[in-house]
Each structure stands twice: as structure tokens, then as C-alpha cells.
Chains A and B, each alone.
Chain A
Amino acid sequence: MSRTKTDQELIVSRQVLSIPQRFATGPVMGRFLMELRDNKRIMANKCPQCGRHLVPPREVCAICRVEATEWEELGPEGYVTDFDIVYYASPDPLTGETRDVPYVLCWVNLDRTQGESPLWHLLHAPDLAQVRSGLRVRAVFADERTGSMEDIKYFEIIDGACNAGILPA
């Protein structure tokens, strides 16, 4: 194949493919999202057999295979178990807009959670050097809530507080 340069017109097609979706929450996820929207509460359901919390809730405890029907409020404070600092400017699949980087994703074990069941969300961290496992954080709710995970805007850091000592090994 020749590698010589040509004046050929080269075609590039730039598009945003937009796929409409409908998500039927069902009663369990629906209750979780409705409580976020209407009452700014993070609700978990609880396995009647092993007693662990499921958050976000699930219909069935995957370990005991029994329905989890009991509901309790968790948080809104908790501590970071893990985090990712994201530098790759990926598009937000909901809007097609490129995200601002860097941003921090974190896993938060909410206060009163029985067992390990961290909730995955954004961490608002003006100073990246501050971010570490064990940080105490608090859910900040959006002013306009629609019944989605984004009804929690992000988790914010509670200054100076750290749970590092109680982290499981």
C-alpha cells in the first residue's frame, strides 16, 4: 500500500446517538428512589435472616435467598471505604456531555449499616490530597429531586473527621 500523501477528501461522521429509555423501578427500588426524592432519606432494606442491610435495596438477600421486606433509614453520614480519582474525561451517558475531570468516585458505608454494603457515589473534594479511605462524609441532596440516584448530589467531606481506625483489615 502506498503511504504517499494525497489531497483526498476524508470523511468523518460525528454524531450523538441518543437512545430513549424507560426504567420501571419496581416496588423496592421505587421505594428507595421515592424516599430520596420526597424525604431526603437513604433507605435500605434488611435481610430477615442474616440481618445485613442492602443498599441500594434489593428484592432478595443474595446470600440467604429470602425476601428482604424490612426497611430502615441509613446515614446520611458515613465513611469512605474506597475511592477512585478519575482523570479520564468520559462522556456522561445521560447527556453526552464530557465530564469535568478530575472527579472522585467513592464507596460510602453509611452509619448504622449492618454488614458491608457501601453505596457508590460522587465525592465532592476540592482538595484531592485530602481524599483517603476512612474519611467521614455526609450526603448532600439536590434541591430539585426527580427520583434518581442524582437526588443525592454528592457526598461532602466532614472536616477533620476520619474513621480510619475502625476500617476492617
Chain B
Amino acid sequence: MSQRNVNMSEEKEYAFVIEGKMALPYQYYAGAIGSKFICALRDEKKILGVRCDACGMTFIPPRQTCERCFADLTEKWVELEPTGIVTGFTVIRYREPYQPKDPPYVLALIQLDGADTPIAHILECGGPNEAKMGMKVKAVFADTPANSMLDISHFEAVRL
């Protein structure tokens, strides 16, 4: 490998930084199942899942088809408790304009009581170092409609 023969002052003279952005328009269709889930969160503060009786699994977010046996779950709604436990978490420490809130904050996987799959959501537990596996948590619903998963504002730790 030959030595680089570009002189350093020349490199400095020409190198610069371009600020840019990438704008990606998109449309997300929640579909019949997803819309019912979001409307129940928003209008009734109810968390709905679907249950596959054959597999004994309760899924949230709800889906039309059982991922194991492909059974149709369209009419298999069940209401879940707004409480659950933390099965995983991460602490977000960097700032980025499109995050749901300012860092640091905790994003957790939460398995609701009665569900067999976890959902990811914001966890308020008194600071980024306070999150624990197995922690009991409770959903706090948003005051203003978000028409999304953020109709649950966040989960908060339940002090026993």
C-alpha cells in the first residue's frame, strides 16, 4: 500500500459538511382489526387483544390471523387488563426530533395480564435507572385523542 500523498492542508481546505434531510411521506392503514383496537383505546380506554382458542394464545396488538395455526381471529376479541409486567426495556439517551419525548426515557416491553405477547411502550418509573425486569406497571391513557398507540400515554410503575 503506497503512502497517501495528499497534503493535509489541502484536505482541510476542501472538506466541508452539508446539512440535509430525508423526508419520507407515508400512509399507515391500521385496517379493520387495528382500527377497532385504536378506537377502543381512544374512546373507551379499553385494551383489546384477540385469542386463539386452539393455541391458547392471546395476542396484542390484535391480528386477524393466528401466527401459529393460521386460524381466523377476526371475531375472537378479548379485553385485557391495563396492568402487566416489564419483560424487557432499554433507555433512550440520545435526542432526535421525531422521538415521542425528550431523553432520557425508558422504552419497555410490557406483557399485559392475560396476554401472551408483549407490547412496546414508554415507561415512567421514576428515572432511567429505576426500570427493573418483572416490574408491575399500569397503563395511563392519554387525555387527548392520538389515533394511535399513543392513546395510551405511557405505562407507570405500580408501587406495591
**A10-B35, A16-B24, A26-B15 known; A67+B29 contact, CB < 8 A:** no
Which stretch, A88-96, A104-112, A116-124, A157-165, touches the partner chain B? A88-96
CB-based contact A24/B15 at 8 Å: yes
- Choose from B2, B10, B97 the contact partner of A27 (Cβ within 8 Å): B10
- Choose from B16, B20, B30, B36 the contact partner of A12 (Cβ within 8 Å): B30
Mark contacts of B21-54 with chain A using CB atoms, 8 A cut-off: 1 yes-contact digit, 0 otherwise.
Answer: 1111111111110111011000000000000000
CB-based contact A23/B23 at 8 Å: no
Interface centre among B22, B31, B39, B74 (most CB of A within 10 A): B22
CB of A9 within 8 Å of the partner chain: yes
CB-based contact A13/B27 at 8 Å: yes
A14 to B24, CA, bound (A): 11
CB of A34 within 8 Å of the partner chain: yes
CB of A15 within 8 Å of the partner chain: yes
- Choose from B15, B19, B22, B64 the contact partner of A1 (Cβ within 8 Å): B64
Mark contacts of A1-15 with chain B using CB atoms, 8 A cut-off: 1 yes-contact digit, 0 otherwise.
Answer: 110001011111111
Q: Which residue of B lies closest to A146 (CB)?
A: B18
Q: Which residue of A lies closest to B73 (CB)?
A: A1
Question: 8 Å CB contacts to B: which residues of A99-157?
Answer: 146-148
CB-based contact A10/B24 at 8 Å: no
Q: How far apart are A64's CB and chain B's nearest CB, in angstroms?
A: 12
CB-based contact B14/A91 at 8 Å: no
Number of A-B contacts (CB under 8 A): 125
Q: Which residue of B lies closest to A93 (CB)?
A: B22
CB-based contact A23/B24 at 8 Å: no
**A9-B39, A11-B39 known; A94+B27 contact, CB < 8 A:** no
- Choose from B14, B24, B30 the contact partner of A17 (Cβ within 8 Å): B24
CB-based contact B147/A27 at 8 Å: no
- Choose from A15, A19, A69, A95 the contact partner of B26 (Cβ within 8 Å): A15
CB-based contact B23/A95 at 8 Å: yes
Q: How far apart are B96's CB and chain A's nearest CB, in angstroms?
A: 8
Q: Which residue of B lies closest to A14 (CB)?
A: B27
Q: Which residue of A lies closest to B65 (CB)?
A: A1
CB of A168 within 8 Å of the partner chain: no
CB-based contact B16/A22 at 8 Å: no
CB-based contact B6/A67 at 8 Å: yes
A2 to B19, CA, bound (A): 51
Which residues on the B side are within 8 Å of A94 (C-beta)? 20-23
CB of A66 within 8 Å of the partner chain: yes
Which residues on the B side are within 8 Å of A95 (C-beta)? 23
Which residues on the A side are within 8 Å of B148 (C-beta)? 11, 13
Q: Which residue of B lies closest to A35 (CB)?
A: B14
CB-based contact B22/A30 at 8 Å: no
Which residues on the A side are within 8 Å of B5 (C-beta)? 67, 69
Closest 6 CB pairs of A and B: A96-B23, A27-B11, A11-B30, A31-B14, A30-B14, A13-B28
